[in-house]
Amino acid sequence: MPESPEVQALVEFLDERIRGRAIAAVDIDEFRVVKTRERPPASLVGATIGGLSRFGKHVGFDTAAGWLMLGFGRNGWIRWLDAGESPSDEPVPEVARIVLDDGAAMRIVDTGDFLGVTLSVVDVPRDLSGIAALGPDPLSVDFTREEFDRALGTRRKQIKALLQEQSSLAGIGNAYSDEILHRARIAPAVHAALLDDDERERLFQATVDVLRGAAADRRGVPPHELKQAKVAAMAVHGRGGEPCPVCGTTILDRTFGGASAQFCPHCQPEHSVA
């Protein structure tokens, strides 16, 4: 699932290539991804793109005729085609394509068994309920400890699930929640309400450091290499059975509340689990 560091790198890569270009065509291969039937993406043909922005794990194209909002779901992404570049012969699960006036194109793909990509045209991003409901974004330069404490609250909710709740904190998914908790030395199943002040401070620092560090590392990586770069950088996520890079203890793979988590039982002791 795309998470904020990779989406941010994608946004920066595309923004410098599409800003100021006009949309020449929007081809929809899979009409189920269009969520605003009364205002289809093709209504933006001819409009100039002012820029591309990230909203949590979503992106939005700011055009002269409205915002085109793109949600990636679990398996969506954008493949970039330079002007004059022919697509490779390999079959691509393209659901839509945005062609620019210089001949370059963005192929929106969904590699999942179930469609997760969504496309909507709105006047402003907050017209989408999922965008309006987003919590503060730890990648934002003005993200504060106070916002983090408000997001954590005093809830009896497992901290790994809370970190991924987009209305609490924007942009974190399954992979970075594992990485943040490992960096903070906090077990994934502990309830937020049981974290003491020292643990909250560690978790705040880990959240900011992991996400900003990943975003800095991914900057400049081309879109088709971002997923592999993310996988390669993981300390514990997806590495059940491998040694912890900090202490060498075997990383565990457990399921909490229907979602899997990978963590180090030595670095992240479960003493405070309710």
The answer to whether 170 contacts Zn ion (rule: CB under 5 A) is no
Q: Which of 23, 49, 139, 264 binds Zn ion (CB under 5 A)?
A: 264
At 9, the amino acid letter reads A
270 lines the binding site for Zn ion (CB under 5 A): no
Question: Is residue 267 within the footprint of Zn ion (CB under 5 A)?
Answer: yes
184 near Zn ion (CB under 5 A): no
Stretch of 73-81, 88-96, 164-172, 259-267 lying at the interface with Zn ion (CB under 5 A) = 259-267
Shortest distance in whole angstroms from residue 245 CB to Zn ion = 8
186 binds Zn ion (CB under 5 A): no
CA distance 154 to 194: 8
Min separation Cβ 244 and Zn ion, Å: 3
Nearest CB to Zn ion, comparing residues 7 and 189:
189
User: 98-101: which pairs have CB atoms within 8 A and are 24 or more residues apart?
Assistant: 98/23, 98/25, 98/26, 98/41, 98/61, 98/68, 99/23, 99/24, 99/25, 99/26, 99/27, 100/18, 100/21, 100/22, 100/23, 100/24, 100/49, 101/21, 101/22, 101/23, 101/24
Query: Per rule CB under 5 A, is residue 259 in the interface with Zn ion?
Result: no
Interface characters, 119-158, with Zn ion (x: CB under 5 A): ----------------------------------------
Q: Decide if residue 251 touches Zn ion (CB under 5 A).
A: no
Residue with the shortest CB distance to Zn ion: 244
Residue 15 contacts residue 228 (beta carbons within 8 Å): no
DSSP sequence for 94-158? EEEEEEETTS-EEEEEE-SSS---EEEEESSGGGSHHHHT----TTSTT--HHHHHHHHTT--SB
Q: Of 165, 174, 200, whose CA–CA distance to 186 is shortest? A: 200
221 to 250: interface string for Zn ion, x by CB under 5 A: -----------------------x-xx-x-
- Residue 181 sits in the site that holds Zn ion (CB under 5 A): no
Q: Which residue in 74, 56, 69 sits closest to 98, CA to CA?
A: 69
The encoded tokens of residue 245 equal: 């890079």
Rounded CA separation 264/185 (Å): 9
- Is 59 or 181 the residue whose CB approaches Zn ion more closely? 181
The number of residues that bind Zn ion (CB under 5 A) is: 7
Strand-pairing partners, residue 96, are 28, 108
266 binds Zn ion (CB under 5 A): yes
- Of 13-21, 74-82, 183-191, 264-272: span binding Zn ion (CB under 5 A): 264-272
For binding to Zn ion (CB under 5 A), which residues are involved?
244, 246-247, 249, 264, 266-267
